[in-house]
Each structure stands twice: as C-alpha cells, then as structure tokens.
Amino acid sequence: MTIPADVSVGLPDTPAVGNPRPIALRAVADVETDAPNSVLGKVALILQAFTIDDDELTLSHLSRRSGVPKASVHRLAQELLELGFLERAGASYRLGMRLFEIGARVPRTRALRESLLPFMYALHSATKQTILLTVLQGSEIVFVERVNSHGQAPSRSKLGGHVPLHCSATGKVFMAFGPPELFDTAVRAGLTRLTPNSAASPVRLRAQIDRVRADGHAVEYEEVMQGFSSIAVPLYESSGALIAGLSVTGTLQRSDIPRFTRSLLLTKEMIETARAIT
C-alpha cells in the first residue's frame, strides 16, 4: 500500500499509555443473550436493563425493562448493592464500580486497547476527529475504546455502546472481511433504520459490502446518526483473523473523506508494520 506524502501521522510520546507491544488476541465470540429463568438469569436481566444512556433507573424501570417482578428486583437489588454491582442514587439505582473493575480485566479487549491507544492518539492528532475501536459481538459492533474530538460525538459511540452491523462503517468492514455468515446474521437480526439513510434492504446492503470489499475500507454517511459520518478499516491479528475495526467519526464533510481516509490507511499500515496485534 502506498500512502501519499502529504499525509503525516506521528506516534506521540504518551507515557501514561506506554509503547505499543505485541499481544496475542482472539476475536470476541458471539454470546448467548437469552438469560435463563434462574436467579443468575434474573440478575443478568436486571443489569442489562441499563442502556448506554442511563445513569440511574428506578425500581419500577428495572422491573419493567427486565420483565422481572418488582418484588424480586427489590430483593436481588439489595444483594447487588452489598456486592458493589449496584449503587444507590437517591431512590434509584446505578451500576456499581465493582462492575467496572471486573470489566476492565477482560483480557481480549484490555490488551487490544492498550496496544492500539498510541496509534489512536496519533490518528486523532492528524484528523482532530473522534477515533473509535470496535469489536464484534453477535449482530452488533461494540465500542471498546475511543479518543474524543473537541466536538460532540454521537452518544451511540460511548464506551460499551453498540450499534447494528448494517448501519455502521465498522460493521460493514466486519461483514466485508469477516466470516461470510455475518451478512445473513445481520439480515436475520432485522435491518432496522437508525436514520433515514440506514441500509434497510438486503440488496442495498450487499452492494455496500461489495464496495467495501473492493475499496478496502468502509464509509457511511449519516446511517447511525444524522449529521455524523464514519470511515473504517479492518484490523487483523497475525493469523489473518479479523480482530477489530478502527474508525474516524465526526461531522465529516464529503470533501474531508479522502484526507481522513489516507490518514486512517496510514495508521493501519503503521499498526501492521509494528506488529501491534499478533
């Protein structure tokens, strides 16, 4: 791959992050989302009732969203409070720090984030846009790291947020370069429109994926949120398996896309040269 000379992405000296180092990773596998009708299953439903935009929820909200009877939610919530998995917020509940501590230990995403953050900072310096790192989970992509722009990034791209494969640039990257069955997985999950621009038909989506495969990168215009666009590239581990997607996201004008694409492709080349993912 030849990168034009007018594009420059330098790795900043970021002691808090550290130097990139080779890591061994495996792709995040699909997970079973149907909780069983058991105490553990009910606990999972209660915790999953919190969305990326929820700071706190009342007992009634937790019961309604989870489908667990209010009396059971109240009893289980008391235990979750004692364990630190929930915290009180007045008459409401919020997720506890204990969950954050456990989540930060997940080895696959932790190693991926630590290795790629210096490259993400460099890409942010070159583009002044929000840089997002995503992994695959079922029929969605999950945001596992981000470097913010000065402007407001879409709320859906908060850490831990997720969007359907068919709408996002990184989702299209996974469908273009990942397992062939991902396309059918996305279609079976339902091609729900997040905006009027979202691909809502298999024919249109197939054409988009073919274009991504030909170009080597994906571009989406206002398919996740109106006013925002993204460019994404695939990232591979040394075995050749697709491990993550890296994107530039913001209030991008079409005239900006070529410049940001060159910066993103250069960053991808630097990651591959450094063997940051092994």
How far from chain centre, in Å, is Cα 132? 7
Q: Are residues 268 and 184 in the same domain?
A: yes
Segments forming the whole domain that contains residue 119: 107-274
Domain boundary among 57, 72, 103: 103
Q: Are residues 135 and 259 in the same domain?
A: yes
Q: Are residues 73 and 116 in the same domain?
A: no
Q: Are residues 185 and 256 in the same domain?
A: yes
Query: How many Cβ atoms are within 10 Å of 239's Cβ, its own excluded?
Result: 11
Residues 6+ away with beta carbon under 8 Å from 154: 224, 225, 228, 249
Q: Are residues 117 and 226 in the same domain?
A: yes
Domain boundary among 103, 122, 145: 103
Tokens read off for 26: 């495996």
**Domain tally for the chain?**
2
Query: How many Cβ atoms are within 10 Å of 10's Cβ, its own excluded?
Result: 10
Q: Are residues 92 and 133 in the same domain?
A: no
Estimate the share of the chain in helix, then strand, then coil, as percent rounded to the nearest 5: 40, 20, 40
Mean pLDDT computed over 176-192: 91
Is residue 89 situated within a structural domain? yes
Q: Higher-confidence residue: 153 or 90?
A: 90
CB 40 within 8 A of CB 148: no
Q: Are residues 148 and 261 in the same domain?
A: yes
Angle at 261 between CA 15 and CA 156, to 5 degrees: 70
* Whether residue 85 has pLDDT greater than 50: yes
How many Å apart are CA 57 and CA 72, to the nearest integer?
Answer: 16
For position 211, which CATH number holds? 3.30.450.40
- List, in sequence order, every residue forming a beta bridge with 88; answer none if it has no partner: 93
Q: Are residues 138 and 164 in the same domain?
A: yes
Distances (CA, A) of 222 to 61, 167, 214: 31, 9, 21
For position 98, which CATH number holds? 1.10.10.10
- What is the tens place of the pLDDT at every residue in 29-82? 333 334 457 899 999 899 888 877 778 899 999 999 999 999 999 999 999 999
> How long is the chain?
278
* Whether residue 18 has pLDDT greater than 50: no
Is residue 28 situated within a structural domain? no
Is residue 19 situated within a structural domain? no
Residues 6+ away with beta carbon under 8 Å from 260: 127, 129, 231, 248, 252
- Confidence at 278, pLDDT banded by 50, 70, 90: low
Is residue 93 situated within a structural domain? yes
Domain boundary among 48, 71, 103: 103
